[in-house]
Structure 1
Amino acid sequence: MDRKDFLNSIGMSAAAFALINCVGCKKSDTSSSTGTTGPTGVNFSLDLSLAANAALINNGGSLVSNGVIVAKTKTGSYIAVQQSCTHESYTLSYQSANSRFYCPNHGATFSENGAVNNGPATRALTVYNTQLIGTTLKIYS
C-alpha cells in the first residue's frame, strides 16, 4: 500500500467513525419538539392554605405544578403558563421584578401573558386559566 492509499483509508475510517457517532447522538424530530408545547387537558387545584403552596400567598411568588408555572404577579393577579421554553424545552423561571418568564438556556423571555419578548423562541407560551375560590386556586385549560 502506498502512502496515498494509506492516508485515504485512514481518512475514510475516521469519517465513518465520526458519522456513526454523530448519528447516534442526533436528536430525532420527536425528541426535539417534546416539551416545547404546554401540557393539554390541564385541570388541577392548589390549596393556598397549605405550606407547600405558600409561595403564592405573596405578590411575586411562584411555583411549579403539573408542568405549569403558577405565579402571583406584582399586582396580585394569578397567572399560569407552561413550564418549558418553546424554543428547546428548558425550564423557565418567573421573574416577578421584571414581570416576565425567563429561559436561562438561551435567554428567551416571555411576558406575563405568554408572548415572546426576546428570542430565540418564536412561539408564545401556552397560557392557562386561573380562578380563585376562597383559598383554592384552580388552574385549567
Structure 2
Amino acid sequence: MDRKDFLNSMGMSAAAFALLNCMGCKKTDIGSSPDTIGPSGINFTIDLSLAANSALLGNGGSLISNGLIVARTKTGSYIAVQRSCTHESYTLTYQSPNSRFYCPNHGATFSEGGAVTNGPATRSLTVYNTTLTGTSLRVYS
C-alpha cells in the first residue's frame, strides 16, 4: 500500500467511525429536559445561625441548597431560584455585583427575578418564595 492509499484508508475509517457514533444520536429539546426545570414541591428552612449557612449573613452571599441557589442581594433581600440553567442545565452562579445569575457554560445571564437578560437561554428561571423569621429562612414554592 502506498502513502496515498494509506491516507485515503485512514480518512475513510475516521469518517465511518464518526458516522457510526452519530447514528444513535437523537436531537432532543434541551429546553424541556427535567434538569432545566426547577424542582417542584420546595419547602425547607435554612438556619442562618449555623456556620454552614454563614454565606447568607452578608449582603451578596449565596449558597446551594436542595437544588436551588439561595442568595442575599446587595440590598439585603433573600431570593431563591433553581440552580440549573434553563438552556443546558449547567450550575449557575450568583454574581452579586452585577445583580444576576450567570451560566459559565454559554454565558447566559438572568436577573435576580429570574428573567433571561442574555441568551442563549430563552426561558426564565423558576423563582421560589422566601420568608425570614428570626434566624430561620423558609424557602418554598
User: Where does the alignment leave 5 or more consecutive residues of structure 1 unmatched?
Assistant: 1-6
Q: Residue in 2 aligned with 1:34?
A: 34
Instruction: Name segments (4+ residues, structure 1) moved above 4 Å.
Output: 13-16
Counterparts of 1:40-119 in structure 2, within 5 Å, are 40-119=40-119
In 2, Cα distance between equivalents of 1:39 and 1:55: 22
**In 1, are the aligned partners of 2:81 and 2:125 still within 8 Å (CA)?**
yes
Give the deviation of 1:22 after TM superposition: 1.9
User: Where does the alignment leave 5 or more consecutive residues of structure 2 unmatched?
Assistant: 1-7
Q: In 2 relative to 1, CA 39–28 (structure 1 residues): closer, same or farther, beyond 3 Å? A: farther
Q: How many equivalent residue pairs?
A: 132
Deviates more, 1:32-41 or 1:61-70: 32-41
In 2, Cα distance between equivalents of 1:31 and 1:121: 10
Letter in 2 for 1:40: S
In 1, Cα distance between equivalents of 2:128 and 2:34: 19
In 2, Cα distance between equivalents of 1:121 and 1:77: 25
Q: Residue in 1 aligned with 2:121?
A: 121
> Equivalent residue of 1:35, what SS?
helix
> Identity over aligned residues, as a percent?
73
Give the deviation of 1:107 after TM superposition: 0.4
Q: TM-score, normalised by structure 1?
A: 0.84
**In 1, are the aligned partners of 2:30 and 2:88 still within 8 Å (CA)?**
no
